[in-house]
């Protein structure tokens, strides 16, 4: 069924101008706002949004919808009786957009305009426009399912279909309906997307009208490889320097890669090669961009390079739609993305590099045509492009749903299987999630209904995976809450260690004094303690190949988690040098991700009997412990366990006797 006829708004001509602070900067900000494609549509857009309970706004990145729609609503008094929430899939976008809008409103960030992301809340009682990750709005809904603080919920980047966004669709739809039934102040729901495939959104939100905003897109020339590339990283490197040698220095390059480690390694390689180029070559400014990068580091992508210097941005798919980077003339698309895939039958969740969809490919190419004609180099053949899926499979249909089910139960959803998902996950995936939560002691069955236990309610208070939440809650019983808070915080951010291949021996020598034969968790704990002992000294971090930015983020996360523990009335004890208690605590909460050594020297997961291996980065790589637990599986050439800890099989029996009686080879009958 097609959605109702869409209203089409014409853009005004002329590209937006880059701004620099200085005399008259407020005037220039206002001029830039007026130059955005959305500005000419403002009166008609507002006249529709005043009357509609729900609306779908379609507009490409660069049209101005994300920064301007919330301001238009506030300036026109629409929804001013409450807060205007604007959700983003990623913290990078939520923070940078809040900063931009507060600048345009000439107010201090955190006053009229603020943001809330995991472990950081920059808002106050006066905040009226609030950018937040979709996960944070979900957490607020647990405390208030009607979202009474909000008058407008703007769900941006809806086409990305993250698991939190999909759950949020159902939550805001239910809140809107219940507020209407209870004669409460209405909740206006606005869905914003960069995709033209809107039938699903419109149908789901009761045939909500679709309003189209024309963006400013210049022609883009697409180039494919003549043959399939076995090594996309090498192909990307060759492409970067080919462009660098031939194109004017003012033309910046955006390269799409898959993750932090890959990006950091490529950054170092690019810098090293650029130093060896002839003296008459343009300088190269290489900037990494990924979600866990600290905010100030992320902001560098918006800065203009010096004259005669080319900006090369190496990014994850964060730059596909969430942010618009000025000056991009060339896009190099690896055709790959890192995503989680979960098989409910085997119980195996693997973080793997996989092919993007056609929709993602076009989004990436579009980054090159924002300000002028652009070029996109796809590191795959045209035949390979034609075989790509049209749309990305929604995350909710390919992930472990344990966190989702825990959230829905905390939201007091009566029947998870009948929850109003836009794209329903398989019943098998839901049942597998319930079974996991049952094994963790988070849920119980009463009168054919699933309910949270007291432990489950406490677990839902943490913005963490259920098994990590339980680890913290159990730490009291093992008298090691301080150490577990540190370990969980270390597991909640990207790696705090970096290991340059060219300095392998130096890295090993530096790490030896912190390495624990009990595994990566205790090794990381030792490194964190040493980091604190030197007060995070940058020189110490450099000498020990520790990422100081990520380590400081660990401290912030730990502080927030400790606050939650305090609110739950937990005791804060330290096990000091007793690491056995720490490992027992981990075994009692993370027993679902464990593996045992086989007679032939391989490892098999205890839960699903899948063949796995110890990752080369682990301190246990050259060891053969009988039983280990791991934090995640990464699939490259084989399935690797990352972040391992030595555990005793007896502890697993203690944690879940019935479960392991079935699972452990040669277990007790």
Task: Give the DSSP letter string of 521-532.
Answer: HHHHHHHHHHHH
Name the 3-class secondary structure at 100.
helix
pLDDT at 481 over 80: yes
Higher pLDDT, 84 or 9: 84
With CA atoms as reference, report the closest residue to 257 among 319, 329, 323, 195.
319
d(Cα 547, Cα 556) in Å, to the nearest integer? Answer: 15
Q: What's the confidence (pLDDT) of residue 669? A: 35
pLDDT value, residue 663 = 65
Question: 551 or 15, which is more confident?
Answer: 551
Rounded to a whole number of angstroms, the CA Rg of the chain reads 25
Does residue 18 register a pLDDT over 80?
Answer: no
What does the block give as tokens for 281?
């070559």
- Give backbone dihedrals phi and psi of 350, rounded to 5 degrees, phi first: -125, 135
Q: Is the dihedral of CA 579, 585, 586, 587 positive or negative?
A: positive
Residue 67 confidence (pLDDT) above 60: yes
Task: Please tell me the number of Cα atoms within 13 Å of 292 on its side-chain side.
Answer: 22
DSSP letters for 235-249 = HHHHHHHHHHHHS-T
Check whether 668 has a pLDDT greater than 90.
no
**Which segment of 1-15, 39-53, 321-335, 603-617 scores lowest on mean pLDDT?**
1-15
Same fold, 34-212 and 220-395: yes
Is the confidence at residue 355, as pLDDT, over 70?
yes
Which token pair is 312? Answer: 């090369």
pLDDT at 319: 85
State pLDDT tens for residues 138-149: 999 988 999 999
CA-closest candidate to residue 83, choices 169, 154, 180: 154
Asked if CATH classification 2.160.10.10 holds for the domain at 34-212, the reply, yes or no, is: no
Query: In which element (H, E) is residue 382 found?
Result: helix 382-386
Is 164 within 8 Å of 89 (Cβ atoms)? yes
Beta strands across the sheet bearing 328-333: 220-224, 374-378, 328-333, 252-256, 309-315, 283-289
Chain-wide mean pLDDT for the chain? Answer: 89
Distance, CA of 444 to CA of 455 (rounded, Å): 11
Q: How far apart are CA 659 and CA 347, in angstroms?
A: 14
Strand partners, 150: 83
Block residue for tokens 């529709």: 48
Better pLDDT: 32 or 309: 309
Q: What sections of 276-374 are H helices per DSSP?
A: 295-298, 318-321, 358-366
Average pLDDT over residues 106-131: 94
Task: Classify each residue of 504-541 as buried b or exposed e, where b means 16 or more C-beta atoms within 10 Å of its C-beta.
Answer: eeebeebbeebbbebbbbbbbbbbbeebeeeeeeeeeb
In the prediction, which pLDDT does 144 show?
A: 93
Q: How confident is the model over 325-344, as a mean pLDDT? A: 90
Contacts with 53 (C-beta within 8 Å, 6 or more apart), sequence order? 176, 186, 188, 189
Residue predicted with more confidence, 519 or 279: 519
* Average pLDDT estimate for 218-237: 94
Q: Is residue 6 predicted with pLDDT exceeding 60?
A: no
Spatial separation of the C-alpha atoms in residues 369 and 85, rounded to whole Å: 30
Mean pLDDT, residues 597-623 taken together: 93
pLDDT at 30: 83
pTM equals: 0.80
Give residues with Cβ within 8 angstroms of 173, minimum separation 6: 189, 204, 205, 420
Confidence of residue 441 (pLDDT cuts 50, 70, 90): very high
Where are any strands of DSSP class E within 164-240? 188-193, 210-213, 220-224
Query: How far, in Å, CA of 140 to CA of 189, rounded?
Result: 16
Q: Where are the domains of the chain?
A: 34-212, 220-395, 400-450, 466-665
Question: What is the mean pLDDT of the segment spanning 169-185?
Answer: 95
Helix, strand, or coil here: 479? coil
List, for residues 406-425, the tens digit of each pLDDT value: 999 999 888 888 899 999 99
Binning pLDDT at 50, 70 and 90, where does residue 60 land? confident
Q: Comparing 133 with 292, which gets the higher pLDDT?
A: 133
**Per-residue pLDDT, 115:** 97
pLDDT of residue 12 exceeding 50, the answer is no
Higher model confidence: residue 634 or residue 346?
A: 634
363-395 per-position pLDDT tens digit: 899 889 878 899 999 999 999 999 999 888 899
Nearest to 411 by CA among 164, 184, 115, 188: 164
* Average of per-residue pLDDT across 19-44: 76
Kindly report, residue by residue over 448-469, the tens digit of the pLDDT. Answer: 889 999 999 999 999 999 999 9
Looking at mean pLDDT, say which of 190-199, 213-222, 490-499 comes out highest: 490-499
% of the chain exceeding 90 in pLDDT: 64
pLDDT digits (tens, 9 = 90+) for 270-300: 999 999 999 888 999 999 998 777 667 778 8
DSSP state, residue 280: T
* pLDDT score recorded for residue 361: 94
Q: Which CATH number fits domain 220-395: 3.30.2290.10, 3.30.465.10, 3.40.720.10, 3.40.50.300?
A: 3.40.50.300
- Reported as a pLDDT band with limits 50, 70 and 90, residue 635 is confident
Separation between Cα atoms, residue 475 and residue 558, nearest integer Å: 14
């Amino acid at each position: 069924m097609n959605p109702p006829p869409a209203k089409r708004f014409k853009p005004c001509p002329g590209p937006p101008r880059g701004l620099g602070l200085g005399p008259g900067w407020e005037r220039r900000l206002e001029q830039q706002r007026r130059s955005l494609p959305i500005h000419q549509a403002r009166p008609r857009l507002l006249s529709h949004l005043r009357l509609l309970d729900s609306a779908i706004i379609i507009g490409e990145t660069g049209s101005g919808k994300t920064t301007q729609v919330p301001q238009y609503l506030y300036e026109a008094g629409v929804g001013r009786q409450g807060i205007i929430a604007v959700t983003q899939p990623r913290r990078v976008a939520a923070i940078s957009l809040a900063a931009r809008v507060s600048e345009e409103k000439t107010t201090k960030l955190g006053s009229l305009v603020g943001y809330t992301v995991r472990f950081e809340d920059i808002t106050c009682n006066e905040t009226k426009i609030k950018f937040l990750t979709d996960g944070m709005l979900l957490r607020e809904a647990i405390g208030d399912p009607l979202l009474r603080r909000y008058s407008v919920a703007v769900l941006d980047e809806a086409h990305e279909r993250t698991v939190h966004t999909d759950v949020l669709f159902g939550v805001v739809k239910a809140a809107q309906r219940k507020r209407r039934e209870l004669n409460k102040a209405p909740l206006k729901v606005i869905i914003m997307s960069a995709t033209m495939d809107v039938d699903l959104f419109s149908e789901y939100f009761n045939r909500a009208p679709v309003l189209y905003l024309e963006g400013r897109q210049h022609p883009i020339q697409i180039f494919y490889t003549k043959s399939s590339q076995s090594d996309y990283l090498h192909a990307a490197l060759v492409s970067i320097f080919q462009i660098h040698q031939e194109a004017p220095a003012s033309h910046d390059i955006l390269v799409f890669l898959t993750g932090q480690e890959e990006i950091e390694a490529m950054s170092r390689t690019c810098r090293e090669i650029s130093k060896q180029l002839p003296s008459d070559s343009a300088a190269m400014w290489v900037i990494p961009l990924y979600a866990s990068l600290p905010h100030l580091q992320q902001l560098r992508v918006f800065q203009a390079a010096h004259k005669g210097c080319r900006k090369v941005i190496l990014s994850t798919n964060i730059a596909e739609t969430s942010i618009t980077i000025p000056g991009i003339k060339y896009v190099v698309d690896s055709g790959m993305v890192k995503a989680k895939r979960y098989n409910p039958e085997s119980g195996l969740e693997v973080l793997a590099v996989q092919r993007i969809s056609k929709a993602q490919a076009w989004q990436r190419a579009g980054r090159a045509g924002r300000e002028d004609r652009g070029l996109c180099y796809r590191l795959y053949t045209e035949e390979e492009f034609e075989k790509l899926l049209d749309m990305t499979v929604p995350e909710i249909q390919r992930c472990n749903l344990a966190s989702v089910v825990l959230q829905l139960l905390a939201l007091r959803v009566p029947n998870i299987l009948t929850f109003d998902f836009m794209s329903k996950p398989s019943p098998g995936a839901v049942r597998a999630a319930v079974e996991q939560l049952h094994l963790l002691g988070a849920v119980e069955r009463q009168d054919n209904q699933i309910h949270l236990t007291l432990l489950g309610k406490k677990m839902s208070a943490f913005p963490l995976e259920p098994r990590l939440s339980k680890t913290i809650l159990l730490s009291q019983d093992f008298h090691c809450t301080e150490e577990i808070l540190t370990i969980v915080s270390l597991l909640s951010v990207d790696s705090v260690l970096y290991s340059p291949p060219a300095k392998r021996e130096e890295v090993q020598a530096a790490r030896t004094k912190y390495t624990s034969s009990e595994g990566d968790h205790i090794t990381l704990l030792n490194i964190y303690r040493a980091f604190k002992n030197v007060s995070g000294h940058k020189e110490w971090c450099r000498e020990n190949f520790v990422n100081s930015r990520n380590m400081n983020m660990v401290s912030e996360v730990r502080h927030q988690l400790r606050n939650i523990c305090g609110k739950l009335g937990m005791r804060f004890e330290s096990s000091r040098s007793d690491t056995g208690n720490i490992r027992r605590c981990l075994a009692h909460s993370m027993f679902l991700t464990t593996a045992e050594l086989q007679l032939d020297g391989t490892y098999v997961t205890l839960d699903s009997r899948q063949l796995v291996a110890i990752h080369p980065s682990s301190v246990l790589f050259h060891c053969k412990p009988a039983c280990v637990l791991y934090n995640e599986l990464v699939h490259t050439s084989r399935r690797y366990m990352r972040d391992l800890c030595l555990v005793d099989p007896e502890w697993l029996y203690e944690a879940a006797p019935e479960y392991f009686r079935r699972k452990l080879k040669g277990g007790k009958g």
